[in-house]
A and B are shown apart, each in its own frame.
Chain A
Amino acid sequence: MATYEKILLKNMEQPGYTGSLADYEGTGGYKALRTVLKDMQPDQVIEVVKKSGLRGRGGAGFPTGVKWGFIPKNHPGPKYLCCNADESEPGTFKDRQLMERDPHQMLEGMAITCFAIGAQTAYIYIRGEFRLGAKILEQALQEANAAGYLGGNVLGSGLTINIFVHLGAGAYICGEETALLESLEGKRGMPRFKPPFPATHGLYQNPTVVNNVETMANVPHIINRGGEWFASIGSPPKSCGTRVFCLSGHVKRPGNYEAPMGITFRELIYELGGGMRSDKPLKAFIPGGASAPFLTPDHLDVKMDFESVALAGSMLGSGGVTVMEEGTNMVWAALRLMEFFYHESCGKCTPCREGTSWLVQTLQRIWNKRGRPEDIGVLDELCGNIPGRTVCAFGDAAVSPIVSTLHHWRGEYEALIREAQETMPRNKEIPVFSN
């Protein structure tokens, strides 16, 4: 089996590594922050990150350095950094490990980011269920403040960087960056219309950068080893660095695996993950969290980088790969995901609020063998009317399980509907009542 150099999981996989400040310092931790404060200007930091080709690890894959570059330099008020730790994309559980096992890695990344964009205050928006992660981060923040890596006078530079943990309360949509900001302002977590973008009108209408946990964790390594080094890993020029891929479903060894972008799904599932859990062959997999369209065994040799997965008709998203074995009904799988999206739709935009409810009802009808021949047409039509008609990308994501399963496994829908027609024939003649 090929072995890869790990970047983000390297420390935590050392025996006895606890993630404490002493442990982190022992592996060269906070060296990057010292370098930045001593030898670099904010613009230089942004330049290095641009050169590294680092792209957001939350799902959308926006170039991180470019995002930082959008922050206006001469803004008179405060600027903010928000670390998106609201990890709630089904199939994704990497940020949880990064936060709970090596919290200082992401805190150092956040401190460097604050320096680069000129922010004095940063918030970690962590999902409400991750109580343990929040507790660990609070402890790490205390350690870092006491050691002078954060707080009023960072490492004697005169710079102020305060980081706070902010617990959410169980809403998937708060992982969308503008919904996250709304929630952080103490409101219902409903996405804002863009533009204006958070880079100019973010938290409290001030310039704000929102970055994922894994993105932040990469930053110290890029500073330490250089943008060129990072850009040489993975599949440059567009997908640089490693990803922490989350493997779940019917595999022998599910879990988090860090590998350079550009390995194939076959390598992840069959080498790192040990293959299928039982003897049944693979039937389908989701390549990047619940929002990514399903792929088939024909796509196993697709490379796991942003462009290749997009070419295959899906997306790398958050890096959560879910594997399904032969025998899994795809209508059922789509229904389970649709129930999630129906539950989590924030209700702001009509197509998404009403559409997800309608889709779930239609799918439930088909799955319970009460489907009607016209139901597939209803699904097709609804799935065509939600994407692109909503404020955020949730609407596009919500239809992807149905669109992709209808595309690859339409026969399974038809079979269930046929069965419904056979077992429960409907009265073809509608009686006409005349007075």
Chain B
Amino acid sequence: MLFERFKKEVDAILSRYPVKRSALLPLLNLAQREEGFVSESAMQEIAKILNLTPAQVFETVTFYTMFNLKPIGKFHLQVCKSLMCALVGSDDLVMWIQKKLGIAQGQTTADNIFTLSVVECLGSCGTGPMMQVNDDYYEQLSEEKVGRVLDDLKRDGTCSLKTGPFMYPQPLAK
């Protein structure tokens, strides 16, 4: 049982809301963090914890695009394709990734490491083209830079090019 292992965290989440159902998105986020996707058994468990029917959980899950209902690769590459990123080359970025990994949108590499998705605005319009990989943002990507990101992630599981606390433009040094 997934949530038994996280009893303390679940209790902390439940304590924030006067109405239990409010904990639904936080618990779903927890499930996805641990398993990489929201499994049917996780939804059943959540329904029990929150006194909901499984259908109530499922109808909510399907509304939110960030929940994966199927297992995906270790790194979920989400490229923003909305107008602001498209103006500065997000279509190229998708092409570079497809070329390097040999997968199309919505596909996962054979070694289960990368899944490529093309998504709508991620709130990084001044620093496109960009992508989100799991929890991290990678911005102002060029073909060379995205190549390095993918290599680093595959080799080390992390990459130093991810964005820290955001500020753009950086203030000029005085």
Contacts and interface: CB of A to CB of B under 8 A. Distances in A.
Interface string A180-209: 000111111100000000000000100000
Given A128-B29, A247-B126, A169 B65 contact: yes
A336 interface: yes
B66 A93 contact: no
A247 B84 CA distance: 10
A95 B124 CA distance: 11
B123 A127 contact: yes
Contacts of B123: 87-88, 92-93, 95-96, 127, 129-130
B26 A166 contact: yes
A88 B163 CA distance: 18
Interface of A: 12-13, 15, 19, 78, 87-93, 95-97, 100-101, 127-132, 136, 164, 166-172, 183-189, 204, 246-250, 253-256, 290, 320, 322, 324, 328, 333, 336-337, 339-340, 343-344, 346
B19 A333 contact: no
A431 to B, nearest CB: 40
Given A186-B23, A187-B60, A131 B135 contact: yes
18 contacts: A15-B173, A78-B18, A88-B123, A89-B121, A90-B84, A90-B120, A128-B29, A131-B136, A164-B16, A169-B28, A169-B66, A170-B66, A185-B21, A185-B22, A187-B60, A204-B19, A250-B88, A256-B167
A302 to B, nearest CB: 21
A132 B167 contact: no
Given A93-B123, A172-B120, A249-B88, A132 B135 contact: yes
Given A15-B173, A91-B125, A131-B135, A324 B18 contact: no
Given A250-B87, A256-B168, A188 B29 contact: no
A87 B123 CA distance: 7
Top 6 A-B pairs ranked by shortest CB distance? Answer: A186-B24, A170-B66, A169-B64, A186-B21, A254-B126, A131-B135
B86 A336 contact: yes
Contacts of B24: 186-187
Interface of B: 16, 18-26, 28-29, 50, 59-60, 63-67, 81-84, 86-88, 119-128, 132, 135-137, 163-169, 171, 173-174
Contacts of B81: 336, 339
Contact of A100 (B21, B84, B135, B166): B166
B87 A169 contact: no
B65 A246 contact: no
The DSSP consensus for interface residues of chain B is: loop
A255 B124 CA distance: 9
A128 B64 contact: yes
A249 B87 contact: yes
Contacts of A253: 169
Given A96-B166, A169-B28, A246-B125, A91 B171 contact: no
Given A128-B66, A246-B125, A320-B125, A340 B87 contact: no
B167 A93 contact: no
Contacts of A188: 59-60, 63
Given A90-B125, A188-B60, A322-B125, A13 B166 contact: no
A231 B24 CA distance: 42
Nearest to A337: B83
Contacts of A89: 121
B65 A171 contact: yes
Contacts of B135: 131-132
Contact of A132 (B26, B165, B171): B165
Given A128-B64, A170-B67, 12 more contacts: A13-B167, A15-B173, A90-B120, A96-B166, A101-B167, A129-B123, A132-B166, A169-B66, A250-B88, A322-B84, A340-B120, A343-B120
A340 B83 contact: yes
Contact of B66 (A90, A129, A186, A254): A129
